[in-house]
């Protein structure tokens, strides 16, 4: 009878080990799938952004050329100083480029790297379940319970 309970215990330990390995593999697969989805969305967005940027650059060239000639027409002194309109537009572009570069640098610094958030939360839940002191009290992001903090000791 003792060997029967030992073999049942060994089988239970083997089952728990297999389930834990399966759980870890599934968590890794979830993280991979989540990251693949995020990266593919980022790539698609980047491609459409690049295409839109190419069209915008060509349109901007024509608009800036027209603006330069229009500014020269406004300040025309009867001479051939048309370069003044192009100079004004060039300085304006440098100022706008500097402002855009500073904004981009600020946004990049404030951005966070993409993380598999769902997989991390699921791993925390599993860890909380496995380290729970009793089955009735789950530990983790969903069922976390903290003991009330003791009242501060009175100073004498």
What is the model's pLDDT at position 156? 42
In this structure, is residue 15 part of a structural domain? yes
In this structure, is residue 147 part of a structural domain? no
In this structure, is residue 105 part of a structural domain? yes
In this structure, is residue 83 part of a structural domain? yes
Average pLDDT by stretches of 10, the chain with 156 residues: 77 90 89 87 88 93 92 83 88 93 86 74 82 62 51 49
Handedness of CA 31, 33, 38, 43 (dihedral sign): positive
In this structure, is residue 140 part of a structural domain? no
CA angle 10, 12, 17 (to 5 degrees): 95
d(CA 23, CA 119) in angstroms, rounded, equals 12
Helix 2-74 to helix 83-110 angle, to the nearest 10 degrees? 160
Predicted structure pTM score: 0.42
**Overall domain count for the chain:** 1
In this structure, is residue 151 part of a structural domain? no
* Segments forming the whole domain that contains residue 62: 2-123
In this structure, is residue 82 part of a structural domain? yes
In this structure, is residue 131 part of a structural domain? no
What is the model's pLDDT at position 6? 81
């Amino acid at each position: 009878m003792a060997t029967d309970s030992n073999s049942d215990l060994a089988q239970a330990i083997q089952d728990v080990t297999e389930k834990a390995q399966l759980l870890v593999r599934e968590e890794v697969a979830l993280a991979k799938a989540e990251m693949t989805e995020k990266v593919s969305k980022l790539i698609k967005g980047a491609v459409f952004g690049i295409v839109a940027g190419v069209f915008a650059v060509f349109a901007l060239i024509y608009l800036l050329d027209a603006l330069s000639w229009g500014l020269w027409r406004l300040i025309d002194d009867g001479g051939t100083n048309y370069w003044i309109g192009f100079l004004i537009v060039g300085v304006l572009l440098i100022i706008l480029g500097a402002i855009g570069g500073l904004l981009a640098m600020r946004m990049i610094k404030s951005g966070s790297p993409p993380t598999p958030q769902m997989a991390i939360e699921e791993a925390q839940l599993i860890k909380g379940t496995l380290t729970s002191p009793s089955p009735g009290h789950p530990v983790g992001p969903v069922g976390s319970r903290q003991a009330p903090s003791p009242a501060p000791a009175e100073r004498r």
